[in-house]
Structure 1
Amino acid sequence: MMKRLTTDSTETSFSRRSLLALSGGLAATALAAPRLITPAEARAPKLGTQAPYYYRFGLGDAEVNVVSDGPLPLGDPGGSFLGVPKEEVAQMLANNFLDTKNVVLEQNIPIVNMGDRLIMFDTGMGTSQLFGPTTGRLGGSLTEAGIKPEDIDAIVCSHAHIDHIGGIVGADGKPLFPNAEVWLSEDDFNFWTDEGKLGSSAKAFVEHARKNLLPVRERIKFFKDGQEFLPGVTAIAAPGHTVGHTIFIVSSGGKSFCFMGDLTHHPVLLLERPLMEFAYDTDPKQSAQTRVKLLGMLADERIPVMSYHFPWPGFGNLARAGEGFRFYAEPMKMIR
C-alpha cells in the first residue's frame, strides 16, 4: 500500500528547516566561488539610448510606417474622464497596472505608401508644449524612419485639435511638408479657424489651428462622409469629439485597417466604459454615442484598427466585452 503523504507540523517544520539549510549552503557556496564580473566591470558600456521611434509592416500591396510625435501626458485622470466616480476610474487603471495619477497617451502617426503616393494621417503637436516637452517628435521620427518631408503627398487629418494638426507648419509659420495636399472635414476647418472663438475657452486650440491651417489654405481639400477621397482611403464621419471628427478605412490589396483618430483615447477607460465622457470632446454625449456605434461596427466586422492614442504602435483588434469592448494588440510583424 502506498504511504499517504501528510502535512503535519513535524514535516512542515522539517521542510522549512531544510529550505533554510539549503539557502545557507547556497550562500556559502556563492561566497566561496570564484569572483565573477560585476555590472560595474561589464565589457559593454550602458548605452542610454532607445530604439528608433518607428515601426514598418505590410498591408496588401502597401507599406505602413508608424512614426511617433512622442508621449502626451494628460495628468490626473479625474480631470479628463468624466461621468464616472474618480475612485472607479482609479480602480480601472490600477486593475490594468496603469498609473492612477497620470494618464499618458501616445501619438501614433501612420504613413502609408500606396506605391503611387505617400499618405500621412495626422501630424502631432508641432511646436506647442501645451502638454509638456515630450511631444513634437515627428520630425525626428521621420528621419529615423528614412522618410523625407518633401516626399509626403497627402496629409489626412482626423480633426483639427492641436495634437493632430500641430505639425503642419514649423515655428516660422512655413509648411513643413512642401508637396503635400491637406485633407480635412470642412466643418472642422470652419469651427477651429473661427476668429470669433479666440475669446473662448478654446482659444489655445483655435490659435493653433489657425497657425497650422491658414498658411496652407490653398492646399486644403475637404472630404465627405462615405467618400473614397484618395484611392484606398474612405472617410467615415464620427462627430462628437469635434464637429467634423472623422475616422478612415485604409485598404490595399484586399487588406484593410481603420485609423480611428480620437474615436477612443484610452484602451481601458473608454473601451470598458464607452459611455464615459471625455473633457476634450466638443459634445461629450454625442461623442459617447458615436463611440459605441462605431466601435461596435468595427468589432462586429472584425476590422483591424489603429488608435492615435493607444500604446505604441497602436495596432490591434476590437471585441465586445460585456457592455464595452476590449482591445487586443496585434503582434509586431517585422519586414525582412
Structure 2
Amino acid sequence: MQNRMLCGILFGAMASGVFGAEGDAVFSYKVGAFDVYMLVENRGQGRPGILIDADKAALDKYLPGGAYQSETNTVLIRGQGKNVVIDTGFGGAIFDSMKKLGVDPGQVDAVLLTHMHGDHIGGMQKDGKALFPRAKVYLAQQERDFWTKTNVNQGAVAALEAYSGKVETFLPRELGTTLAEILPGISAMAAFGHTPGHTAFLIESSGKKLLIWGDLMHVQGIQFPLPDISVTYDTDPKMAAEVRRKILDYVVKNSIPIAGMHLTYPAIGTVKADGSGYRFVPEGI
C-alpha cells in the first residue's frame, strides 16, 4: 500500500521537556541515560475518511467538526555513545531540528525503521545518496521482504540501495516473549498489521522505559477510546486493531509511557484504561 499522508506545515521552534504551544517542533524526554527527542516533521489537518467503519455517532462525539490535527514525527535518541534516529519522515524538518540539537546527519550511527511507508523513509536518501552516510539501517525482515519482493515499491528499494552493505534485518518478537535487543537498551517488538513488518521499539535504561510504537495509531481522538477502528493505511486492518488493543493493554498494565509517529505534540505520554477503551495523557499535562 502506498503511503498517502499529506504533507502539512513545517515548524522550526523548539521546546524542552514541557508541553508547548502549537508551533513547537521538538520535545525532549529522559529515559534513564537516554535523551529522547520527538521531532515534529509536519502538521496539517486530517479528515475522518481514512477511518474504517467509524459511525456518525462516534465521529460526532470524538471528532466534532469533522477534522483533526494530523502530525508526522520522527525520533532522535542520544545515549550509550550513539546517535540513533527512528524513522526519517519526509526528509524535511528532521534535519533542521537535528541541527538545532547540535547533531549532524553524519554523526548518526543508526537509523531504525518502524516500517517503510513514504512518510517514514523519505529522509533516508536523495538522488541515490544516503543522507545519514555513516549509519547502519535496521528494519524487520518481514518489512524488507514485503516492499522489495512481494509488493515492490521503488521508494523503499531506493532507500535501502543507498545504504548498500549497511542494512541489517531482524525478526521482531511478539509480546510475551523475550524481545530482541537491536542496540544496547533498544529492543524490537512485533506490531504487525499496519504493515507486515511494522515494529515498535522499547527503550530501556536505569529502570525506565518508553515504547515508541510507530504507526500503531493515526487518529488519537477516536482510536484511544475506540481502538478497534483501523485506518485505510493499514495493510491488514483487523490485525492492526487486534495488535493495537494488545499493546495498549500491555502499556497500561506495565505503566510504560509511549510515543507515536502520528500522535500530536508532545506525542509522548501515558495511557490509562477508560471503560472499554483508553485515554491518553500527554507528558507535561
TM class, shorter-chain normalised? Answer: 0.7 to 0.9
Please report how far the alpha carbon of residue 227 of structure 1 lies from its aligned counterpart in structure 2 after TM superposition.
Answer: 0.4
- How far apart, CA to CA, are the structure 2 residues paired with 1:165 and 1:255? 28
Please report how far the alpha carbon of residue 264 of structure 1 lies from its aligned counterpart in structure 2 after TM superposition.
Answer: 1.4
1:186 pairs, out of 141, 151, 166, with: 141
Matched residue count: 259
- How far apart, CA to CA, are the structure 2 residues paired with 1:186 and 1:92? 37
1:240 pairs, out of 193, 196, 202, with: 193
1:59 pairs, out of 31, 37, 43, with: 31
1:93-120 superposed Cα distances (whole Å, 9 cap, x missing partner): 12xxxx523x332222221112311111
TM-score of the pair, normalised by structure 1:
0.73
Larger Rg: 1 or 2?
1
* Structure ranking higher in helix proportion: 1
- How far apart, CA to CA, are the structure 2 residues paired with 1:123 and 1:73? 21
Moved over 6 A (4+): none
2:112 is the counterpart of 1:146: no
Q: Which residue type is aligned with residue 63 of structure 1? A: D
Confirm or deny: 8 A CA contact 2:35 2:79 kept in the other structure. yes
Which of 1 and 2 has higher RCO (CA within 8 Å, sep 6+)? 2
- How far apart, CA to CA, are the structure 2 residues paired with 1:330 and 1:247? 19
Structure 1 gap ranges (5+): 1-48, 127-135, 199-205
- How far apart, CA to CA, are the structure 2 residues paired with 1:315 and 1:178? 29
Confirm or deny: 8 A CA contact 2:69 2:264 kept in the other structure. no
Confirm or deny: 8 A CA contact 1:258 1:304 kept in the other structure. yes
TM-score of the pair, normalised by structure 2:
0.85
Aligned to 1:70: 42
- The RMSD of aligned alpha carbons is 1.9
Q: Which residue type is aligned with residue 158 of structure 1? A: T
2:224 is the counterpart of 1:271: yes
Q: Which residue type is aligned with residue 296 of structure 1? A: D
Please report how far the alpha carbon of residue 86 of structure 1 lies from its aligned counterpart in structure 2 after TM superposition.
Answer: 4.2
Residue identity over aligned pairs, in percent, reads: 32
In structure 2, the residue corresponding to 1:142 is in which secondary structure? helix
Aligned to 2:155: 208
1:192-223 superposed Cα distances (whole Å, 9 cap, x missing partner): 123x646xxxxxxx232122122214211112
Structure 2 gap ranges (5+): 1-10, 15-24, 174-178
Aligned to 2:8: none
* Structure ranking higher in strand proportion: 2
In structure 1, the residue corresponding to 2:165 is in which secondary structure? helix
In structure 2, the residue corresponding to 1:107 is in which secondary structure? strand
